[in-house]
Amino acid sequence: MLNTLRGRFILSHILPLLIVIPLMGIATIYLIEQQILIPSLLSELRGNALMLSRLAARDQEIWQDSAYAQQLLAQGSFRTDGRLTLMDGNGILLASSDPADADQIGTQVAHPSLETARGGEVAIQLRFSQQLGDDIADALAPVISPSGELLGFVRLSFHYYSFIEQLYQLRYLLTGILLVALLIGAGLGAALAINVGAPVQQVTQAVYSLANGERSEALPEMGAEETRRLSRAVNTLFERLRGMESARKRLLANLIHEIGRPLGALRMGIEALSRGADRDPKFYEELLEGMDLETARLQRLLEDLSHLHEQTLGVLELDRENLDLSVWLPETLKPWQQAALKKRLHWKLKLPDSLPNVQADPLRLDQVIGNLVSNAIKYTPGGGMVGIEVGAEDDWILVRVSDTGPGIPLEMQEKMFEPFVRGGHGKRFPQGMGLGLSIAQELVEAHGGRLELESEAGLGSKFTIWLPLHPVKLL
């Protein structure tokens, strides 16, 4: 039972009840007996003795004629577990309701509270009686005549077990109540423990199912706040795992597609060379150029996969330099400018006369700008325009790459920076792994900046790189 969370919950609810309720019961019984019941019974005994003493004071013959007193007591009815005795002022026994005291009539009674009663007080005590051989509750009340003379004493005694019987009845009643309370508390505790344990068990089963690849449904969020959070966390984990599985499948499909094309082209080139294609210088040059482009595509693919691996591991590092963009950027853009002109695109580069230096990693920044410019050239039709604009605003440097290509639909713009996201047929980014923009955004954010997109279907796109002039070291 203790090996399960539910068992421990049940025990945690029942164990305090098993300890607290009996202790509270014992304390309650003790307080009721000592502070309420026994004082109440003794007070009742005192009141009865005082009443009898006042009645006895009205009949003077009782104290003058012992036989009359004995006859009077014999005529009355009295409890079998008690005794009523009359003594004169000197403590001589005059009469007793107990026939066993017949041989004690006329003898001196030794009573420890006799002097107290002579003082006019009703003496009450619980003591052991040698004569009766039992604990008794005893009340000794003085009998005072109307003239103030002490006529004698009225003694009212009860066996203590008569009190105990009442105490036992109270104990049985309280014990029964406590047992019922204990059973109800244990039942409620077990119900609460099961209610708490059920969602945890459900979450545990769901985790096992996820590990075995079996579960496909979200967990219902029920129970306490903590268990709802746990269910929510498992559901989030499931969604992420499902997203990762979907991304893995897309990655595999993209890899097969992207690697297959250049490998097929290279194989065809090798086959052409083996058949004597090198004998035609022009064809040989075109063949080498095509094979070089395919190997460059493979190289670019490997770089994207490498950066994807860095993103996953969180090991992206920058080698920052004090970079003068007005000098560095034109040199970096020369190959892309040639590619744009070769495609008959209008090329525009706008650099201000003075530009502050920026702390950046030139290799990583080259990869970002190259990715954006490459996409702009690739998806802008002949006769269109590709422009690069550099500027400074407040404490930021901006590099904006714009084109007059097909643009990106609004519903696709929010997803364009996610890995493996590509546009459909006829839209921007119909080919490739879908990693370029995700990696570019990651590299810009690693510099402490941000990458923004403005686009409208049919009207081209603008990607803006914002780099801080005073970058904060990211943890």
The 3-class SS string of 336-404 reads HHHHHHHCCCEEEEECCCCCCCEEECHHHHHHHHHHHHHHHHHCCCCCCEEEEEEEEECCEEEEEEEEC
Judge whether 356 lies within some domain: yes
Whether residue 292 sits in one domain with residue 330: no
305 and 344 assigned to the same domain:
no
Q: How confident is the model at residue 339 (pLDDT cuts 50, 70, 90)?
A: confident
Residue 217 in any domain: the answer is no
Instruction: Give residue 81's domain range.
Output: 5-167
pLDDT in tens, 224-282: 677 778 778 877 877 777 777 776 776 666 566 567 667 777 787 788 778 787 787 88
> What's the rounded mean pLDDT across residues 440-448?
87
Residue at a domain's end among 313, 342, 366: 313
Cβ atoms of residues 386 and 348 within 8 Å: yes
Give domain status of residue 342, yes or no.
yes
In the chain, % of residues over pLDDT 90: 11
pTM of the model: 0.44
Residue 232 and residue 115 share a domain? no
- Which domain-ending residue is among 313, 347, 367? 313
CA atoms within 13 A on the CB side of 237: 16
- My answer on whether 144 and 274 are in the same domain is no
pLDDT score recorded for residue 120? 86
Same structural domain, 300 and 331: no
245 and 380 share a domain? no
Query: Same domain, yes or no, for 283 and 370?
Result: no
Instruction: Kindly state whether residues 38 and 148 are assigned to the same domain.
Output: yes
Predicted pLDDT of residue 102: 83
Which of 285, 313, 341 finishes a domain?
A: 313
Provide φ and ψ at 142, rounded to 5°: -75, 145
Domain count, the chain: 3
Q: Is residue 137 part of a domain?
A: yes
Residue 142 in any domain: the answer is yes
Residues 354 and 464 in one domain: yes
The CATH number given to whatever domain includes residue 281 is: 1.10.287.130
Q: Which CATH number covers residue 113?
A: 3.30.450.20
* 198 pLDDT above the threshold of 80: no
Residue 146 domain flag: yes
What 3-state DSSP class applies to 28? helix
pLDDT greater than 70 at residue 8: no
Q: Is the domain of 159 the same as that of 129?
A: yes
